[in-house]
């Protein structure tokens, strides 16, 4: 049986890292490393001759920054890119510029870091190979940003994976500052979730921060699940708050969208809204169905606007989605629902 291998071009200025990565990726029967580039200038030339399916790219590179290179690439020769980067806020600018996903660069001296990194990058390359390059435009401004029936008992839960950093941003930056409390679970490593929350906080009218265990769910506040903890909605006599604790992976992930959605179904029920966005796999689909069964209003991103139509597809197929929509329209749908 002939396997159509995913053609990968590795771009990194470290000879050691390039060689180690080539050796590991080449052991996967579904991946073929067609070449290696030492910097973006070298990569531009090799892309023309080698015609890779996927490019791995470090954000911090000599001769030309990875971000400048990525913008140039997407304008001239759009290609699916998986970032391999140390903890750097530029990762989110690169995702905005068109990169499909990212993997945290490992500590080469760590025996624990490397095997985990190799597993993750192989998976991300395979996901990227079936992803769509979705151009992100400036968000549509909803017809009305005014909320008339704002209830403190409302909770909005959003879940996303591959492509979700930009999809979530598209939704949040179109919402007014006085929204009901919003909880976000985005599949992302520890450390990056705080940087992501800080970035959203600068762009959006809402206050956005990485959640801490015990944080209250308040109007105008968005809490982002920490990258190494399971975030759940809880309730006491004062109202809603979040529990953020280390836990086993659920549906393959920590944080898991299913964990969040199931807790919202249990504690907020009909007073909640669930939104499932782009991502590979099925995390969140069952949780969204459970929310719907308790009377929640549910929204799923459509195939056309999804980078990877996985999680929202499964949710739609099992009947968990009440309204399916282009990501650009979700903010308006949400505001109209809250105004009913």
Residue 160 sits in the same domain as residue 285: yes
What is the Cα–Cα distance from 245 to 262, expressed in whole angstroms?
16
**Which pLDDT does position 302 carry in this prediction?**
98
pTM for this prediction: 0.90
Tell me the three state secondary structure of residue 229. coil
Residue 174 sits in the same domain as residue 85: no
Angstrom distances, CA of residue 236 to CA of 152, 240, 267, 291: 14, 7, 10, 20
Residue 20 structure tokens: 């180690």
**Which pLDDT does position 314 carry in this prediction?**
98
**Which pLDDT does position 112 carry in this prediction?**
77
Where residue 245 falls (left for φ over 0; alpha for ψ -120 to 50; beta otherwise) is beta
Residue 110 bears catalytic tag: no
Mean pLDDT by 10 residues, the chain (340 residues): 84 92 95 95 94 93 85 92 84 90 83 86 94 70 60 88 95 94 95 94 96 97 97 96 96 96 97 97 98 98 96 98 97 92
Which of 114, 130, 146 is where one domain is finished? Answer: 130
Which of the following is catalytic: 85, 90, 139, 161?
Answer: 161
Tell me whether residue 232 is in a domain.
yes
Site of tokens 């549509």: 140
Which of 79, 95, 130 is where one domain is finished? Answer: 130
**Within a 10 A sphere around the Cβ of 297, how many other Cβ atoms?**
21
How does DSSP assign 300-324, residue by residue?
EE-TTT-SSBSHHHHHHHTT--SEE
Residue 207 sits in the same domain as residue 120: no
Tell me whether residue 53 is in a domain.
yes
* Strand pairing category for 239-245 and 101-104: unpaired
Which of the following is catalytic: 42, 101, 215, 283?
Answer: 283
Residue 120 structure tokens: 């993750």
Angstrom distances, CA of residue 316 to CA of 13, 61, 302, 322: 43, 41, 9, 8
Residue 187 bears catalytic tag: yes
Which of the following is catalytic: 187, 258, 306, 329?
Answer: 187
Domain enclosing residue 99, as ranges = 6-130
Residue 27 structure tokens: 């052991």
Tell me the three state secondary structure of residue 294. coil
Tell me whether residue 135 is in a domain.
no
* Strand pairing category for 239-245 and 230-236: antiparallel
Tell me whether residue 88 is in a domain.
yes
Residue 60 sits in the same domain as residue 164: no
Tell me whether residue 138 is in a domain.
no
Residue of 278, 262, 275, 285 lying closest to 331 (CA atoms): 275
CATH number of the domain bearing residue 252:
3.40.50.180
């Amino acid at each position: 049986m002939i396997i159509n291998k995913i053609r990968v071009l590795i771009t990194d200025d470290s000879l050691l890292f390039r060689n180690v990565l080539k050796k590991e990726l080449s052991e996967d029967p579904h991946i073929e490393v067609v070449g290696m580039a030492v910097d973006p200038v070298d990569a531009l030339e090799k892309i023309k001759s080698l015609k890779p399916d996927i490019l791995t790219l470090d954000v911090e590179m000599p001769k030309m920054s990875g971000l400048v290179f990525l913008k140039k690439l997407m304008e001239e020769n759009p290609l699916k890119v998986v970032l391999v980067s140390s903890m750097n806020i530029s990762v989110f600018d690169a995702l905005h510029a068109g990169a499909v996903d990212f993997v945290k660069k490992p500590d080469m001296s760590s025996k624990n870091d490397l095997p985990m990194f190799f597993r993750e990058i192989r998976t991300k390359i395979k996901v990227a190979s079936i992803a769509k390059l979705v151009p992100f435009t400036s968000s549509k401004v909803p017809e009305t940003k005014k909320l008339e029936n704002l209830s403190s008992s409302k909770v909005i839960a959003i879940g996303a994976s591959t492509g979700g950093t930009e999809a979530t941003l598209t939704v949040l930056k179109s919402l007014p500052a006085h929204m009901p409390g919003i909880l976000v679970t985005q599949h992302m490593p520890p450390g990056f979730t705080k940087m992501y929350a800080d970035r959203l906080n600068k762009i959006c009218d809402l206050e956005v921060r990485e959640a801490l265990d015990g944080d209250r769910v308040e109007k105008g506040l968005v809490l982002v699940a920490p990258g190494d903890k399971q975030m759940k909605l809880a309730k006491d006599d004062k109202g809603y708050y979040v529990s953020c604790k280390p836990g086993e992976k659920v549906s393959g992930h920590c944080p898991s969208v299913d964990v969040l959605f199931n807790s919202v179904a249990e504690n907020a029920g009909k007073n909640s809204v669930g939104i499932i966005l782009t991502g590979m796999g099925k995390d969140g689909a069952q949780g969204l169905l459970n929310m719907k069964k308790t009377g929640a209003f549910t929204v799923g991103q459509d195939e056309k606007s999804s980078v990877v139509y996985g999680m929202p597809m499964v949710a739609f197929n099992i009947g968990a989605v009440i309204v399916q929509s282009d990501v650009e329209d979700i903010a308006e749908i949400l505001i109209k629902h809250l105004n009913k």
